[in-house]
Amino acid sequence: MIEFITAIATAIATFIATNLDDILILTLFFAQVGALFRRRQIVLGQYLGFILLVLASLPGFFGSFLIPTHYLKGLGVIPIILGITYLLKREEEETESLDAIAEQNNHPSWLKGWLSPQVYGVAAVTVANGSDNISVYLPLFASSTGHNLVIIVATFLLLVGVWCFVAYRLTHVTAIADWLKGYGDTLVPCVLIGLGVFIIKENLPLAFLALIISYFWAMSLNSDSLLPEDET
């Protein structure tokens, strides 16, 4: 019984320590429900990405380290690409996404949910942002017995759901919801770009600079969209 409690406590502490930053990313994603995402796509993408991180860490349990974690830092280009894509296509998304979501609701399909680009986009960001998780999970899994490994992984998967629920509820806190409503569509691509730079370089000032540059880029797009059309 003590071993069981210890395994759960270890899993909870490890998960919180390695996934605190995911709360921010998930909250920004959930703030874009109806514009860029559906709730199910975010949850599925988060689970898919986290499961990939766990699978990449399992070699530690078998006594070998098959995936050098520094290779995974190259995945930082994925959030950058997604952020730039969201910036370039934001106006189109705003006009078309609601109709697309309504059409999907009329024809629901779990297969379509799994195959949607949004699911893989969230999963890619989760994997890229979790490259440092692997460096923690590898030795944890390597020092665990088979029984403890099952408990730890099961606890991790439960906490992923808790993380998604907490992030979703944060978007319903009045102050946070109002702030995200006003700035969320701008912050999502900017944070993704800054996050990608930080993953690749592990340089906070450089990541902050990338965030600021992308923010002013987004604001310039906003100002262009607000210009009156030429009268004919």
Sign of CA dihedral 196, 111, 171, 152: negative
CA dist 114 and 129 (Å) reads: 21
110-129 pLDDT, tens digit each: 455 566 788 888 888 888 88
Tell me how long the chain is: 232
203-216 pLDDT, tens digit each: 677 777 877 887 77
Prediction pTM value: 0.70
Cβ–Cβ < 8 Å for 54, 125: no
Q: Is 48 exposed, middle or buried (0-12, 13-18, 19+ CB in 10 A)?
A: middle
CA dist 195 and 174 (Å) reads: 26
Per the model's pLDDT, the better-predicted residue between 71 and 177 turns out to be 177
> Is residue 66 classed as helix, strand or coil in its secondary structure?
coil
CA dist 128 and 20 (Å) reads: 15
pLDDT at 98 over 50: no
Sign of CA dihedral 182, 208, 193, 191: negative
DSSP secondary structure letter of residue 33: B
